[in-house]
Amino acid sequence: MITGMDHLPTTEAAVTVLRALAAEYALEIEVTHDIGADQTSRRSAAGVGVTADPDGSLPHEAYVELGGRPNVSVRLYPDDDALITVDGVECPDVGRDDVPAFLRALYDGHAWVKTRRFPPAHFLMVPLPQDRVHKEFILVGLSPWLGGRAR
């Protein structure tokens, strides 16, 4: 069982944990890897043919799509963070070590949508370890999955 408290020192370690999580929840998973400074999204200024960072390391980024509901994708950056998209709601700056706990909260039904009446707004609320909650403003309309979690 993946606790979500595991330290994920590399993008590859995070992908391995996400594969195990997908198997645990019987979800399809598709992974795309981008390796090298000229391939990763945050290193676009690296120049053509420049694959290594100035320190000689090869940055590794992965894009993961998970099947099932909600529609979830995860972009794991080489800088120890991730962008998780849940039914069109982008949740940037999620720590790489928090990604398994974030996904587990979604699939276990612990995440919810907070509704504010005035001014009208919706927020995706995802509980994380150590009594933290990731709160994300929802710009798009509520999908059926998100609407079913509104409070």
**Domain locations along the chain:** 11-109
Structure tokens at 127: 């509980």
Residue with tokens 């907070």: 114
- Buried/exposed code over 121-143 (b: 16+ C-beta within 10 A; e: otherwise): ebbbbbbbeeeeebebebeeebb
Structure tokens at 151: 């409070």
Tens digit of pLDDT at every position of the chain (151 positions): 444 446 788 888 999 999 999 999 999 999 987 755 555 555 444 455 545 444 545 676 889 999 999 999 999 988 889 999 999 999 999 999 999 999 999 999 999 999 999 888 999 999 999 999 999 999 988 999 999 999 8
18 phi and psi angles, rounded to 5 deg: -65, -35
Residue whose C-alpha is closest to residue 131's, from 110, 150, 108, 113: 110
Residues β-bridged to residue 101: none
The pTM is what? 0.84
